[in-house]
Chain A
Amino acid sequence: KQEVTQIPAALSVPEGENLVLNCSFTDSAIYNLQWFRQDPGKGLTSLLLIQSSQREQTSGRLNASLDKSSGRSTLYIAASQPGDSATYLCAVTLGSRLIFGQGTELSVKP
């Protein structure tokens, strides 16, 4: 059974720091992996989508990598800002299923 795990569950950093969020999955036969951001009381916003054949995707200060063989993905956030405070979730598409991790709650302190 596919499991998706995100570590740490919560992270607090000072503004300006570079940081890495981790996502691991047990079944490497995924179609893709997505990173989302969820603000309190809101829906999820897609940040980056990595196809199974790709190694990384970049958007602005965000960079996501994918290593299927080891079942890992990382989301790198450069020069963090208070506006980056949110919960970050990863999700994998496996067959007909979309499976989410539990998320990492990020707090960036001014």
Chain B
Amino acid sequence: QVQLVQSGAEVKKPGASVKVSCKAPGYTFTNYGISWVRQAPGQGLEWMGWISDYNGNTNYAQKFQGRVTMTTDTTTSTAYMELRSLRSDDTAVYYCARGSKYQELYYFDYWGQGTLVTVSS
């Protein structure tokens, strides 16, 4: 059974960093890629970037370049998303979602349960 299991909610102060994990038991991790998508309260979905679990290639949305890093640990089938220099408008639910291992342009067939990141002083 395919699952994406994310780490728990975080509360951070402005200027801090957050690192969210996404563990993927139930399928061959390196056969896919992981995208990260966020959703601000009451808002729509925003794609942040992608990492290939196959070869580690990444592609970040321009808005987040320089502030986000996506990594994977194939030994534990876990993907990570670190966002730095947090601002209040980074408050959102962050989702990992499974896609293609070859490219970031793909649909997402399984999603994690989401991780709420709250940025507040």
A and B: bona fide binding partners: no
Measured CB to CB, the residues of B under 8 A from A are none
A interface residues with partner B (beta carbon < 8 Å) = none
